[in-house]
């Protein structure tokens, strides 16, 4: 399994604080990656080119006191910004055309995303959190979503059960199609759908 380079609770707290600072900005997807050097990743999902949606990425750059870099490849235009917030490395990016992670324009405010991420901090106290590869918070068709990826050397179903029991009561286990991954979902009280993927590293 990949070692954690950052403490999960620190990343969650820093991401929630940064999103709260960004306030009314919309169009963001946030990824928490304790195994990556850049532990917090913000993806602008407005469905528009950067030049037509300057606000989100520039607000991130202003908060980080870092410049926005722009570039172009044959396939896409991109803009990105890198910095540190509350001791956590941050990478913000805007890709156009949108990539495979894009779930349509996110209309939820950064502050609302921040409250959702802050509510996840207690999850970092569970045993399975030490094996968390990533947590993504985003919108899908206007509804709040979370996706958690956990790696384990042990039985996949045991780790999935531990996560689902910690997350909530309204659970659903997806049919197993492969030996190396197990999926499950939980509906939180606020209407957020959480999907968990437990994988063999």
The pLDDT tens digits of the residues spanning 134-144 come to 999 988 877 88
Quote the pTM value.
0.91
Per the CB < 8 A criterion, the answer to whether 199 and 180 are in contact is: yes
* Residue 145 pLDDT > 70: yes
pLDDT digits (tens, 9 = 90+) for 147-193: 999 999 999 999 999 999 999 888 998 988 899 999 999 999 888 99
Residue 75 in this model has a pLDDT that exceeds 80: no
- E strand or H helix at 64, and its extent? helix 54-64
Q: Give residue 102's pLDDT.
A: 56
**pLDDT range class, residue 73, cuts 50, 70, 90:** confident
Number of neighbouring beta carbons within 10 Å of residue 122? 12
- Tokens describing residue 87: 């001791």
CB atoms within 10 A of CB 201: 10
- β-strand partners of 26: 109
Nearest Cα to Cα of residue 117 among 143, 153, 148, 94? 148
In this predicted structure, what is the pLDDT of residue 49? 74
The pLDDT of residue 1 is 67
Tens of pLDDT along 8-67? Answer: 999 999 999 999 999 898 889 999 999 999 999 999 887 777 766 567 899 999 999 999
Instruction: Note the pLDDT of residue 39.
Output: 95
> In this structure, is the dihedral angle defined by the CA atoms of residues 94, 100, 103 and 105, taken in order, positive or negative?
positive
DSSP-assigned states of every residue in 106-175: --SBHHHHHHHHHTTGGGGGSGGGGGEEEEEEEEETTEEEEEEEEE-SS-HHHHHHHHHHHH-SEEEEPP
Residue-level pLDDT at 78: 82
C-alpha span between 3 and 132 (Å, rounded): 10
């Amino acid at each position: 399994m990949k070692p954690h380079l950052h403490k999960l609770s620190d990343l969650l707290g820093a991401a929630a604080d940064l999103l709260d600072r960004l306030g009314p900005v919309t169009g963001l997807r946030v990824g928490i990656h304790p195994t990556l050097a850049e532990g917090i990743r913000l993806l602008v999902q407005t469905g528009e080119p950067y030049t037509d949606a300057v606000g989100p990425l520039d607000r991130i750059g202003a908060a980080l006191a870092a410049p926005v870099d722009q570039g172009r490849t044959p396939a896409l235009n991109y803009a990105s910004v890198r910095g540190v917030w509350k001791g956590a490395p941050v990478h913000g990016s805007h890709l156009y055309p949108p990539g495979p992670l894009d779930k349509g324009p996110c209309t939820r405010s950064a502050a609302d995303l921040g409250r959702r991420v802050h509510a996840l901090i207690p999850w970092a106290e569970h045993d399975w959190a030490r094996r968390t590869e990533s947590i993504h918070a985003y919108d899908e068709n206007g509804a709040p979503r979370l996706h958690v990826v956990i790696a384990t050397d042990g039985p996949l179903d045991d780790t999935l059960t531990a996560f689902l029991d910690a997350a909530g009561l309204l659970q659903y286990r997806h049919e197993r199609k492969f030996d190396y991954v197990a999926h499950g979902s939980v509906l939180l009280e606020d209407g957020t759908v959480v999907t968990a993927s437990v994988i063999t590293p």
